[in-house]
């Protein structure tokens, strides 16, 4: 079958590879094989291609996928022909963090498209329990957005704005735009989005931001606080750079809360003012992956609560995966979908 293979950091190609083999003998249920219909390119995939992530090389990346089960193995809940969305994160169920109810912090976690072959391939094997049957009528395109949306839902499960909170969202990529819509559902008022790209600002306004600011046009702190009518009650960092991580602490007001959601490069450091945390009772939290939120993500997608139309900016055939990756690196792109079926 055809797959995108990263031989080593920086060297990748679309090539013929062996069919995927279900891995290992699993105690609970066996493995299934899914014919991939759509697979989104995530920042993590670019990190794997660049060698800035813990992947096993040679790697077939791709973890935001939907498709059709072609081999259901001995699964009790799946049959061949089932349309599914995939939760790529696999937990050991036996380490200390798994036993404490935080399986996403599993010390020996594995992931489809990271530590084992993923969805930039015609077919992909995985444990059956990673597959969620799609609600009636949900498209493969929307279903491939389940994984990033479920990560956003976990972020808001860790820390969420209350109705009437002044919310600042820093960064308006795919995740920022999903978050803008979710914060709207949470009742953030007003919602101000900071984003340097004009097209992304326009989209943020269309999808629920009350105002947007260009952080490169002047002092972003002043512009955000002006637009909010005061310091933020809730700040969502969704850009993953030091400048916005620092800005979050500059715009949060008394009693405020900061969710650090963007993936900063390893080693990024930002100054913190302990006196501010103390005197203003600031809460800062992080959120990692998507424990127990994939079903809610599917429910929101099936009910049409998230406008997905503008979130997928480009679609490519698997044979053109190299062009798809180049496009994903451009500042004005959103989610890029690769379609192994053409
Ligand atoms: Zn991802
Ligand atoms: Zn574990």
**Beta strand ranges found along 120-184 (DSSP E):** 123-127, 131-133, 167-170
Q: How far is the CA of 276 from the centre of ligand 1 (A)?
A: 33
Q: How far is the CA of 137 from the centre of ligand 1 (A)?
A: 24
Q: Is residue 253 part of a domain?
A: yes
Tokens of 67: 């498709």
Whether residue 180 is found in the same domain as residue 267 = yes
CATH of the domain at 273: 3.40.50.720
Q: How far is the CA of 105 from the centre of ligand 2 (A)?
A: 7
For residue 175, which ligand has an atom nearest its CA? 1
Interval 173-232: pLDDT, tens: 999 999 999 999 999 999 999 999 999 999 999 999 999 999 999 999 999 999 999 999
Nearest to 59 by CA among 72, 50, 68: 50
CA dist., res. 334 & res. 328, Å (int): 7
Interval 226-281: pLDDT, tens: 999 999 999 999 999 999 999 999 999 999 999 999 989 889 999 999 999 999 99
**Residue 263, CA distances (Å) to 97, 242, 259 in order:** 22, 10, 12
pTM for the structure as a whole:
0.95
Looking at residue 265, its pLDDT comes to 86
Percent of the chain with pLDDT over 70: 98
Whether residue 130 is found in the same domain as residue 10 = yes
Whether residue 296 is found in the same domain as residue 269 = no
Whether residue 174 is found in the same domain as residue 282 = yes
19 contacts: CB under 8 Å, gap ≥ 6: 1, 123
Whether residue 143 is found in the same domain as residue 264 = no
Q: How far is the CA of 17 from the centre of ligand 1 (A)?
A: 23
**Residue 180, CA distances (Å) to 149, 156, 192, 257, 325 in order:** 12, 11, 9, 16, 25
275 phi, psi to nearest 5 deg: -60, -40
DSSP assignment of 33-72: EEEEEEEEE-HHHHHHHHT-S--PSSB----EEEEEEEE-
Ordered strands of the 211-213 beta sheet:
211-213, 191-194, 167-170, 232-237, 252-260, 283-286
Q: How far is the CA of 90 from the centre of ligand 2 (A)?
A: 9
Tokens of 199: 């097209």
Confidence of residue 26 (pLDDT cuts 50, 70, 90): low
Whether residue 14 is found in the same domain as residue 100 = yes
Looking at residue 251, its pLDDT comes to 98
* pLDDT above 60 for 113: yes
Whether residue 98 is found in the same domain as residue 179 = no
* pLDDT above 70 for 25: no
Query: What is the C-alpha R_g of the chain?
Result: 20
Q: Is residue 152 part of a domain?
A: no
Tokens of 131: 């597959």
Whether residue 115 is found in the same domain as residue 213 = no
For residue 291, which ligand has an atom nearest its CA? 2
Confidence of residue 27 (pLDDT cuts 50, 70, 90): very low
Q: How far is the CA of 226 from the centre of ligand 1 (A)?
A: 33
Interval 73-89: pLDDT, tens: 888 899 999 999 999 99
Q: How far is the CA of 44 from the centre of ligand 1 (A)?
A: 6
Whether residue 90 is found in the same domain as residue 198 = no
Q: How far is the CA of 111 from the centre of ligand 1 (A)?
A: 11
Confidence of residue 56 (pLDDT cuts 50, 70, 90): confident
Q: How far is the CA of 151 from the centre of ligand 1 (A)?
A: 8
Q: How far is the CA of 81 from the centre of ligand 1 (A)?
A: 25
219 contacts: CB under 8 Å, gap ≥ 6: none
Looking at residue 28, its pLDDT comes to 47
Domain containing 215 equals 160-286
Whether residue 213 is found in the same domain as residue 127 = no
**Residue 196 burial by CB count (10 A; 0-12/13-18/19+): exposed, middle or buried?**
middle
**Residue 235, CA distances (Å) to 10, 194, 246, 261 in order:** 35, 11, 11, 10
């Amino acid at each position: 079958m055809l797959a995108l293979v990263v031989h080593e950091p920086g060297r990748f190609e679309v090539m013929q590879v062996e069919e995927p083999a279900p891995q290992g003998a699993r105690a609970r249920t066996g493995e299934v094989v899914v014919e991939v219909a759509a697979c989104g390119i995530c920042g993590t995939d670019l990190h794997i291609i660049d060698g800035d992530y813990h992947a096993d090389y040679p790697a077939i990346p791709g973890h935001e996928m939907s498709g059709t089960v072609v081999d259901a193995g001995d699964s009790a809940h799946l049959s061949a022909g089932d349309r599914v969305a995939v939760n790529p994160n696999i937990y050991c169920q036996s380490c200390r963090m798994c036993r404490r109810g935080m399986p996403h912090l599993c010390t020996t976690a594995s992931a489809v498209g990271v530590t084992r072959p993923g969805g930039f391939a015609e077919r992909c094997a995985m444990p059956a329990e990673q597959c969620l049957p799609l609600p009636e009528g949900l498209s493969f395109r929307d279903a491939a957005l389940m994984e990033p949306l479920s990560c956003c839902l976990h972020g808001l499960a860790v820390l969420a704005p209350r109705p009437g909170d002044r919310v600042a969202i820093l960064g308006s990529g795919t995740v920022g735009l999903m978050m803008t819509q979710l914060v709207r559902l949470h009742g953030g008022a007003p919602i101000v989005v900071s984003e340097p790209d004009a097209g992304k600002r326009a989209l943020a306004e269309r999808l629920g931001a009350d105002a947007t600011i260009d952080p490169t046009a002047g002092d972003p702190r002043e512009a955000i606080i002006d637009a909010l009518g005061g310091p933020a009650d809730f700040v969502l960092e969704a850009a993953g750079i030091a400048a916005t991580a620092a800005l979050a602490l500059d715009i949060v007001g008394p009693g405020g809360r900061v969710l650090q959601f963007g993936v900063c490069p390893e080693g990024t450091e930002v100054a913190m003012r302990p006196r501010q945390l103390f005197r203003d009772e600031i809460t800062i939290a992080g959120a990692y992956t998507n424990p127990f939120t994939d079903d809610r993500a599917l429910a929101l997608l099936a009910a049409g609560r998230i406008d997905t139309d503008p979130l997928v900016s480009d679609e490519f055939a698997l044979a053109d995966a190299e062009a798809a990756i180049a496009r994903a690196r451009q500042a004005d792109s959103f989610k890029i979908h690769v379609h192994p079926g053409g």
